[in-house]
């Protein structure tokens, strides 16, 4: 194998490594969002958790945010990038976390 061929193979492997890293980061962000959706739904619907402690308005606010995010995810899960998944995660957390925190503080 010539030096040129070796250098080409090294370049290609580095390009593939970068692509693999981007794919992994995208999938990690997607899975984090899916896990958070599942956890929040379970938290607000399970009577052994917070379901009985939430006001109906707070529960509706969280469930509406979950539904909106799930609909976005169903339409975009293949096309969205890591930043989009992370952005939706932050938006969902911005809605849910203060409500959940107020229950634990009260």
pLDDT given at position 33: 97
pLDDT, residue 51, reads 79
Ranges of each domain in the chain: 26-105
19 vs 32, residue with greater confidence:
32
Give the confidence band of 50 by pLDDT, cuts at 50, 70, 90.
confident
Q: How much is the pLDDT for 14?
A: 84
Query: Which pTM does this prediction carry?
Result: 0.84
Greater pLDDT, 77 or 63: 63
Q: Is the pLDDT of residue 100 over 80?
A: yes
* Radius of gyration, CA atoms only, the chain: 20
CATH 1.10.1380.10 assigned to 26-105: no
Contact 100, 43 (CB under 8 A): yes
pLDDT at 42: 93
């Amino acid at each position: 194998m010539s030096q040129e061929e070796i250098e080409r193979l090294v370049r290609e492997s580095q390009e593939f490594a970068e692509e693999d890293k981007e794919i992994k980061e995208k999938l990690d962000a997607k899975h984090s969002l899916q896990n958070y959706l599942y956890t929040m739904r379970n938290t607000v619907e399970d009577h052994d958790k917070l379901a009985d402690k939430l006001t109906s308005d707070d529960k509706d606010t969280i469930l509406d945010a979950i539904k909106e995010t799930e609909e976005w995810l169903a339409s975009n899960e293949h096309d969205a990038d890591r930043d989009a998944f992370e952005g939706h995660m932050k938006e969902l957390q911005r809605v849910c976390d203060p409500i959940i925190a107020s229950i634990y503080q009260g």
